[in-house]
Amino acid sequence: MNPRNRLNFSGGPGALPQSVLEQVRESIDAVPGVGLSVLGISHRSDWFAAVVAELEDNVRRLLGVPAGYHILFLQGGATQQFTMVPLTLMQGSQVPADYLHTGYWSGKAIAEARREGPLRVLWSGEGEGFGRLPSDGELDFAADAPYLHYVSNETVEGLQFHRLLGRDDVPRVCDMSSDFLSQPCPVDQFALIYAHAQKNIGPAGVTVVLVRDEVIGKAPEDLPGFLDYRSHAQAHSNFNTPPVFAIYVVLLVTRWLLGEIGGVAAMAAINQRKAGLLYCALDGSDGFYRGRSAPADRSLMNVAFSLPDVHLEQAFLAESQAAGFTGLAGHRSIGGIRASIYNALTVAEVEELAGFMADFQRRHRR
Ligand SMILES: *Cc1c(COP(=O)(O)O)cnc(C)c1O
């Protein structure tokens, strides 16, 4: 393996498809048909308006987004959505918003929302070390909550909901930052979906928001302009200077999904094969590799596991790094190992990692 072309198994920013990176390289010199570097094209140009329009259209096609939704490209990351969501939907409600505490990132969302108004933690996995997700029987959703918030894929712990949560009469809000466009998604069941680009669909700097028109229509009138979805909707995601480069790369990724992969159902099939390879490696290791999450809640994006002791984990990280695999250290909050296998990593590349794992185990088994 060429050491200058390491495989990126990082939790984020994640790998991007080779064909996209080639087009990005070209566009830094000059965007075809424009003759300017993408880094210096005006956000007021016709070209950029067409980029935003095509990207919106591609997301609509990929996910089958029905009429009645705005698609926005915002800054501030998922973290800014942790605040914009309660600012928009709590509206002085005396009834608390329902939040699920299933891992590191939902915990961050809860901390920010608490600053804006009352919330209820409907279920928390903290006491059990976030090793699993709740079953339906453990969830008693309030009928009068202003909204329900959850994280579809807990990136740090490697936990993913494989079902829809909540009640049809309470607006569902979901942070899909680490599994957006990795599989089909019933958009019409959500009032608001947000996902930053840097895990699965592009570089850092842009966050995709799918929001029902009525949510925007009912937003409080006195929000700061930058934190009001209305401003961004009216300005077609051009309220102030947007991250033109990041948005362009996300457009290239959606073209890749549509043209080379064949859509999100095909992407999901590939992602299932990749995750299957690694979970098989864990399950077939006689306890050498220990999966972190309950089997029913295993993430298809982030495979988190540990080894029998910390010295073996350090050896695993050092040897994998030397063999050309990067980003395998677990999140700093929990340690261990985490292999993030976002859309752009191929089946063959994940097979290489599974091969390395088998070899490492042979050499280090006691
Ligand atoms: C990485 C991550 C975040 C943090 O997003 P920022 O863009 O850094 O604010 C939030 N939610 C989830 C699920 C994540 O994986």
Cα separation, 325 vs 3, whole angstroms: 9
| Burial (0-12, 13-18, 19+ Cβ within 10 Å), 348 | exposed
Distance 350 CA to ligand 1 centre (A): 23
* Catalytic residue check, 199: yes
CATH code, domain carrying 68: 3.40.640.10
Ligand 1 binding pocket includes 160 (Cβ within 6 Å): no
Distance 251 CA to ligand 1 centre (A): 20
Beta carbons within 10 angstroms of residue 170's beta carbon: 18
Instruction: Tell whether 167 and 222 lie within a shared domain.
Output: yes
| Burial (0-12, 13-18, 19+ Cβ within 10 Å), 276 | middle
Ligand 1 binding pocket includes 77 (Cβ within 6 Å): yes
Q: Is residue 348 part of a domain?
A: yes
Cα separation, 28 vs 346, whole angstroms: 25
Question: What is the pLDDT, as a whole number, of residue 5?
Answer: 76
Cα separation, 350 vs 128, whole angstroms: 30
Q: Which residues pair with 306 in a beta bridge?
A: 290
Instruction: Tell whether 60 and 195 lie within a shared domain.
Output: yes
Q: Which atom of ligand 1 is nearest to the CA of 198?
A: 7
DSSP string, 271-331: HHHHHHHHHHHHHTTTTSSEESS-GGGB-SSEEEEE-SSHHHHHHHHHHHHHTTEE--BPP
User: What 3-state class would DSSP assign to 342?
Assistant: coil
Cα separation, 232 vs 286, whole angstroms: 53
Instruction: Tell whether 239 and 329 lie within a shared domain.
Output: no
Testing ligand 1's pocket by substitution, the residue of 99, 105, 199, 333 carrying the most ligand atoms inside 8 A of its CB is 105
Please tell me the residue having the least CA distance from ligand 1 atom 3. Answer: 78
Please tell me the residue having the least CA distance from ligand 1 atom 4. Answer: 78
Q: Is residue 9 part of a domain?
A: no
The two structure tokens encoding residue 288? 């050498």
User: How many domains does the chain fold into?
Assistant: 2
Cα separation, 314 vs 329, whole angstroms: 9
User: What is the mean pLDDT for each group of 10 consecutive residues in the chain (366 residues)?
Assistant: 74 94 97 95 96 98 98 98 97 94 98 97 97 97 97 98 98 98 98 97 97 95 96 96 98 98 98 98 97 98 97 97 96 94 98 98 89
Instruction: Tell whether 256 and 356 lie within a shared domain.
Output: no
State residue 287 phi and psi, 5-degree precision: 85, 5
* Catalytic residue check, 175: yes
The answer for 336, left when phi > 0, alpha when psi is -120 to 50, beta otherwise, is left
Cα separation, 203 vs 246, whole angstroms: 6
Distance 177 CA to ligand 1 centre (A): 6
Cα separation, 70 vs 44, whole angstroms: 20
Domain extent at residue 157 = 20-261
User: What 3-state class would DSSP assign to 226?
Assistant: helix
Q: Which atom of ligand 1 is nearest to the CA of 207?
A: 7
DSSP designation for 257: I
The two structure tokens encoding residue 355? 């091969």
Of the candidates 254, 277, 296, 263, which has an alpha carbon nearest to the alpha carbon of residue 357?
277
Instruction: Tell whether 232 and 93 lie within a shared domain.
Output: yes
Q: List, in sequence order, every beta strand (DSSP E) within 80-140.
A: 97-101, 119-124
Of the candidates 55, 22, 34, 18, which has an alpha carbon nearest to the alpha carbon of residue 254?
55
Contacts of residue 161, Cβ cutoff 8 Å, sequence gap at least 6 = 133, 150, 152, 153, 297
Contact between 41 and 47 under an 8 Å Cβ cutoff? The reply is yes
Ligand 1 binding pocket includes 196 (Cβ within 6 Å): yes
- Active-site hit among 98, 179, 199, 228: 199
Q: Is residue 7 part of a domain?
A: no
Question: What is the pLDDT, as a whole number, of residue 3?
Answer: 45
Instruction: Tell whether 188 and 228 lie within a shared domain.
Output: yes
Instruction: Tell whether 256 and 294 lie within a shared domain.
Output: no
Testing ligand 1's pocket by substitution, the residue of 10, 74, 75, 79 carrying the most ligand atoms inside 8 A of its CB is 79
Contacts of residue 197, Cβ cutoff 8 Å, sequence gap at least 6 = 203, 204, 205, 206, 207, 208, 246, 249, 250
Ligand 1 binding pocket includes 78 (Cβ within 6 Å): yes
Q: Is residue 345 part of a domain?
A: yes
Instruction: Tell whether 269 and 347 lie within a shared domain.
Output: yes
Ligand 1 binding pocket includes 212 (Cβ within 6 Å): no
Cα separation, 273 vs 174, whole angstroms: 25
Distance 105 CA to ligand 1 centre (A): 7
Contacts of residue 203, Cβ cutoff 8 Å, sequence gap at least 6 = 13, 16, 197, 245, 246, 249
pTM higher than 0.85: yes
Question: What is the pLDDT, as a whole number, of residue 92?
Answer: 86
Please tell me the residue having the least CA distance from ligand 1 atom 13. Answer: 177
Distance 362 CA to ligand 1 centre (A): 36
Q: Which residues pair with 174 in a beta bridge?
A: 150, 193
CATH code, domain carrying 292: 3.90.1150.10
Ligand 1 binding pocket includes 338 (Cβ within 6 Å): no
Question: What is the pLDDT, as a whole number, of residue 17?
Answer: 96
Question: What is the pLDDT, as a whole number, of residue 4?
Answer: 53
Instruction: Tell whether 301 and 223 lie within a shared domain.
Output: no
